């Protein structure tokens, strides 16, 4: 069977694998698996028509031992407490792998944002923020955007939090517009980091970006910038999709034209410079590099069997199920895992938080250089661990992340 593994099941299976490799006790395993704090809130909305509708919102702080909770806010119809728990757990390991001083958290509201006006989304965001006020803050839990939210959402969260406390506190969110304390380079950071991770993986086989073809699923905040940086690095991007499917050109898509088409509100599938391709077809294209940068669980036992790429670099969180992982491993396909590959976003979020807290802003060049160094350092540590212990890159990244969190617990005295 395929397509039935939930994100939380995937996250728990990955933790169990790391715990087994590390030889941790059942008690420590349970402690690492259990979220420290969860908040479940009602989010009523008065629609523009006057009608009242109710949404449910969540904020989960999976771990706060290495520092404040950190992680995105998702607006999607799929959001439920278990999805948020999985995403929060992945944030914990991700922050530890790239060694930023945070725990892991995530939030979500079960709402399909495309069905609501901007004014309605602002009211939802402000109400959600007011409800979770007691557990967030620059020293407690710092939000960023995720699927269905953006820079504007982060500005509304920051404003609501600040207005309630009576002064401006830019450090409560990251991924804000630059005009209200955002950082240069945050908008493109996750995609850029994905490409740094891809370059590092290719380099292990003596391959460079100009030698490869690539397909990218998802053309949002992560996928569109991954496409852009792949193109700028010389890779031939031959297919891109969003939720409605996408476009394909075997000779290489005209990426600047595709980005301009999207900026003008066009759907990827309507791009005149390619032929239609479905999401399922994209995953099975004969390319060198596959970047799933949309949603969880797309590479399961069945779809993984059809992958022809030699490298899968995970832009999305949790795109590969444990069954999919096994199939890819058996077929010798290298998977650069999400908690490493897409960590560029949280790395530059960290830079944004540091800048906001110091009220001193860095140049775009400083940010790009520091991001590249963090990604390279993290990749090298994961790759070395994988080689030395004969592990997959996923297990190597997880063991590094989990071990750092367990060490923080141990030093703080939270377990014997």
Among the listed residues 160, 342, 355, 385, the single contact to ligand NDP using CB under 6 A: 342
Is 70 annotated as a binding-site member?
yes
Interface residue with ligand NDP among 223, 297, 324, 401 (CB under 6 A) is 223
Out of ligand NDP, ligand AKG, none, which partner does residue 104 contact, by CB within 5 to 8 A per kind? none
If one asks whether residue 71 binds ligand AKG (CB under 6 A), the answer comes out as: yes
7, 57, 72, 401: which one binds ligand AKG (CB under 6 A): 72
What is the torsion angle, in degrees rounded to the nearest 10, for the CA atoms of residue 77, residue 82, residue 84 and residue 89?
-150
Q: How many whole angstroms separate alpha carbon 132 and alpha carbon 145?
A: 16
Task: Kindly indicate which of the ranges 129-137, 208-216, 228-236, 287-295 contains the residues binding ligand NDP, using the contact rule CB under 6 A.
Answer: 287-295
CA-to-CA dists, residue 203 to 127, 161, 209, 279, 376, angstroms? 47, 44, 9, 28, 11
Compute the least distance from the CB of residue 94 to ligand AKG, in Å. 6
In the complex, the smallest distance separating the C-beta of residue 416 from ligand NDP, rounded to whole angstroms, is 35
Retrieve residue 179's tokens: 């005009």
Q: Where are the beta strands (DSSP E) in 207-284?
A: 213-217, 236-242, 245-248, 275-277
Spatial contact of 324 and 176, defined as CB atoms under 8 Å apart: no
Q: Among ligand AKG, ligand NDP, none, what binds residue 174 when CB lies within 5 to 8 Å by partner kind? A: ligand AKG
Residue with the two structure tokens 């088409």: 261
DSSP string over 351-403: HHHHHHHHT----HHHHHHHHHHHHHHHHHHHHHHHHHHT--HHHHHHHHHHH
**Where does this chain touch ligand AKG (CB under 6 A) — which range of 24-32, 196-204, 328-336, 343-351?**
343-351
CB of 342 to ligand AKG, least distance (A): 6
Active-site residue identified among 106, 176, 221, 308: 106
Q: Which is nearer to ligand NDP, 43 or 144 (CB)?
A: 144
Binds ligand AKG (CB under 6 A): choice among 349, 355, 383, 385: 349
Task: Please name the residue that has the structure tokens 């390991």.
Answer: 93
Give the whole-angstrom CA distance, residue 271 versus residue 258.
Answer: 7
Helix, strand or coil for residue 63?
strand
308 belongs to the catalytic site: no
Q: Using CA of residue 96, residue 101, residue 107, residue 112, what is the dihedral sign?
A: negative
HSE-CB at 175 with a 13 A cutoff on CA atoms is 28
Q: Could you tell me how many residues of this chain bind ligand NDP (CB under 6 A)? A: 25
Judged by CB under 6 A, does residue 279 bind ligand AKG? no
| Number of Cβ within a 10 Å radius of residue 406 | 22
- Determine the interface stretch with ligand AKG among 241-249, 269-277, 338-346, 365-373 (rule: CB under 6 A): 338-346
Least distance in angstroms from the C-beta of 108 to ligand NDP: 10
- Site residues, ligand NDP (CB under 6 A): 145-148, 190, 217-223, 241-244, 279, 293-295, 315-317, 342, 345
Q: Which residues does the annotation mark as catalytic?
A: 106
Annotated binding site for substrate: 70, 94, 349
Annotated binding site: 70, 94, 190, 349
């Amino acid at each position: 069977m395929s397509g039935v593994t939930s994100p939380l099941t995937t996250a728990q299976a990955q933790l169990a694998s790391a715990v087994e490799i590390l030889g941790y006790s059942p008690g420590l395993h349970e402690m690492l698996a259990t979220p420290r704090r969860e908040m479940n809130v009602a989010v009523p909305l008065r629609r523009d028509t006057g009608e009242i509708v109710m949404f449910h919102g969540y904020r989960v702080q999976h771990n706060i031992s290495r520092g404040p909770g950190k992680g995105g806010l998702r607006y999607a119809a799929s959001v439920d407490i278990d999805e948020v728990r999985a995403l929060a757990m992945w944030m914990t390991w991700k922050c530890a792998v790239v060694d930023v001083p945070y725990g892991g958290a995530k939030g979500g509201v079960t709402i399909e944002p495309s069905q609501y006006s901007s004014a309605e989304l602002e009211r939802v965001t402000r109400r959600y923020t007011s409800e979770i006020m007691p557990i967030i803050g620059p020293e407690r839990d710092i939000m960023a955007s995720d699927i269905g939210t953006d820079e504007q959402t982060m500005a509304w969260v920051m404003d609501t939090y600040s207005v309630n406390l009576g002064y401006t506190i830019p450090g409560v969110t990251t991924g804000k517009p630059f005009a209200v304390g955002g950082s240069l380079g945050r908008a493109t950071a996750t995609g850029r980091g994905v490409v740094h991770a891809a370059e590092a993986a290719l380099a292990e086989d003596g391959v460079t970006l100009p030698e490869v073809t690539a397909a990218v699923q998802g053309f949002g905040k992560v996928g569109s910038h991954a496409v852009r940086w792949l193109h700028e690095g010389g890779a031939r991007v031959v297919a891109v999709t969003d939720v409605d499917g996408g476009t394909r050109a075997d000779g290489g898509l005209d990426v600047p034209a595709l980005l301009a088409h999207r900026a003008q509100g066009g759907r990827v599938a309507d791009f005149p410079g390619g032929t239609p391709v479905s999401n399922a077809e994209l995953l099975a294209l004969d390319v060198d590099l596959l970047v799933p940068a949309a949603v969880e669980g797309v590479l399961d036992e069945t779809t993984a069997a059809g992958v022809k790429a030699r490298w899968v670099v995970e832009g999305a969180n949790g795109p590969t199920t444990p069954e999919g992982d096994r199939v890819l491993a058996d077929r010798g396909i290298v998977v650069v895992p999400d908690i490493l590959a897409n960590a560029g976003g949280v790395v530059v979020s960290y830079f944004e938080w540091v800048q906001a807290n110091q009220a001193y802003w860095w140049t775009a060049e400083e940010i790009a250089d520091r991001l590249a160094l963090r990604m390279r350092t993290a990749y090298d540590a994961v790759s070395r661990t994988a080689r030395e212990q004969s592990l997959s890159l996923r297990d190597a990244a997880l063991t590094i992340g989990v071990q750092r969190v367990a060490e923080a617990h141990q030093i703080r005295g939270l377990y014997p």
